[in-house]
Chain A
């Protein structure tokens, strides 16, 4: 019965894994261009080329340059980072239902962001992002400490509980602030649902390098992650420093998910679905799972963002709402399939 699961892998040989990855990258590029070209204001490929070679200040070019390009980049990098952080969370907790949100990332970021927005006037976007990031990191550290991580051993179950409790506290705080300050409420609502538009290139270029570096570190840890997923006892027996690795995983999750939520708000389900889909395609060998997560996560968020422009056209909805709605059937499918008793 166990063997059956392994043979179910869709892509078996390294060659097919590689070729499929190349195919996905092409798909990613296609969606990237779709994100640049589709929307309320009609643009075509010439507008895009001209924007970066022969800039004339036309509406089309302004839209591409200041709105769609940062938006597409945001979707790409955040989709990828969220799914990698989800992958890491699922290994860490050995729970296929885990995602960064479990560690309180979203609620911590939301509270700090709303608090700063409401109490410190005239904050620039960069500072708001910084506040969100600090909030996300603080929430994770609290959850980690509360779940006993400081003493050295950490149980999935405690992590889940502590995450739920810390989230609830932050949500409650956020609600108090929002309740007292209605104006903030109206302005941050879009962010609170998760949105990839309205970020400046300037802000993005501060985040992208950090994400890239984190991805590289994940690659470097791939072998150790493989060992870790065999079980802690076995990994320890094979000479792996488990506690160090756990800390590294947590830090990577903080950086990746924290930066993502700081930029785009809490985008639901990406970090949950993509790792699953990845494992369905290539299994849990991390040298494949990591690039697949990156590419698939980017594709998902780019396509969801394109969809968000057309669902109640001409109005837009937050991309977080789109991923939640698109993701729900998938989640249900997994939940129904996961347990075959």
Chain B
């Protein structure tokens, strides 16, 4: 029993694995470090000590301006996008009982693109190619697109309940249709569309500011807490449906709630960051490697690891080919995919669960 941390007080009681707690603390430290690294790297190098000084002393001046108005909001957005995607992927993998599921597989990303393009189509002035409304409404449309798509997938997969198989397959179909609509909208629209749309589809946190942070933070925080409350349900969902029902879980209802939770997290991330791929797939994988499939371990870790991936990728995206500021999505896929191949061949057997 000494491998467990147990806390009890009256009717309250909690349990956590010691090893996982340790790993969580270490990754959280790595995450904090990557945030500071992200604040210090860029066109002008600012030493980490100076960064800390600026953050906690509240000093003003050139460096402070760079950090507070440009790097800090961008880094925080990257962090929240990553944590949301990591969590969303972990939830989805539990719901469909398949470690290969990811938010973009059920069409969240592609439908988000449709939403963003609908916005551009509606509000681009054909005379001067300028926007007739604030670009800040684009995330709202992207969010709506992504979220509606998940509802459609769920409804279409429903036939006396949904099964993981139908969710995945119909998700792929809806994603395909969304892709087609995206290209129709792009081809039908003005030329400026292409660049804007492509950038969005690849996924970027370029040009994000405090408004984005203010939008994302409460959204993420609330969903994160709800997710932690649902940890138990996810552990049950990950078992066979028969066993889950036998244990008294209202499987179908919880599955729907968890889908919505996963969709809400991913849609939030997609709305701000566009189609940043692979994070939702990779982060939970890394976490399972570090600990095991128990969601008490996987969920908080996935959030932290997802955050690390996007923050580090964004550092790479804006410094490696400097002065080019590449979309971070290129790097999450460019790093994520080879890593995925590596994982695949390290743990082929562990991955193989009836599909």
| A residues neighboring B (CB under 8 Å) | 97, 146, 157-158, 160-162, 164-166, 168-169, 171-173, 175-176, 178-180, 182, 185-186, 189-190, 192-193, 268-269, 311-312, 315, 317-318, 320-322, 324-325, 327-328, 331-332, 334-336, 338-339, 341
Contacts and interface: CB of A to CB of B under 8 A. Distances in A.
A242 B352 CA distance: 23
A56 to B, nearest CB: 34
A318 B183 contact: yes
A317 B187 contact: yes
Contact of B334 (A97, A157, A172): A172
B179 interface: yes
Given A175-B327, A315-B187, A331-B169, A268 B348 contact: no
Given A179-B202, A189-B186, A189-B187, A339 B176 contact: no
Contacts of B187: 189-190, 193, 315, 317-318
A103 B202 CA distance: 22
B336 interface: yes
Given A168-B278, A336-B170, 16 more contacts: A146-B341, A165-B337, A165-B341, A168-B333, A172-B330, A172-B333, A175-B198, A176-B334, A178-B198, A179-B199, A268-B179, A269-B176, A321-B181, A331-B169, A335-B157, A336-B157
B159 A336 contact: yes
Q: Is the interface of A mostly helix, strand, loop or mixed?
A: helix
Contacts of A336: 156-157, 159, 166, 170
A341 B278 CA distance: 31
Interface string B162-197: 010110011011101101110110111001001100
Nearest to A146: B341
B333 A186 contact: no
Interface residues of B, number: 48
Nearest to A316: B187
Q: Is the interface of B mostly helix, strand, loop or mixed?
A: helix
Contact of A339 (B163, B179, B351): B163
A324 B326 contact: no
Nearest to A328: B177
A165 B346 CA distance: 14
Contacts of B100: 160-161, 164
B336 A168 contact: yes
Contacts of A169: 333-334, 337-338, 341
B102 to A, nearest CB: 10
Given A157-B352, A193-B183, A332 B170 contact: yes
B7 interface: no
B324 A180 contact: yes
A97 B170 CA distance: 11
Enumerate the 7 nearest inter-chain pairs by beta-carbon distance, A residue then B residue, closest first: A324-B180, A335-B169, A168-B337, A172-B333, A321-B180, A331-B173, A328-B177
Contacts of B123: none
A161 B344 contact: yes
Contacts of B179: 268, 324
B14 interface: no
B198 A331 contact: no
B166 A339 contact: yes
A80 to B, nearest CB: 21
Contacts of B278: 168
Interface in B128-162: 156-157, 159
Contacts of B199: 179
Contacts of B180: 193, 268, 320-322, 324-325, 328
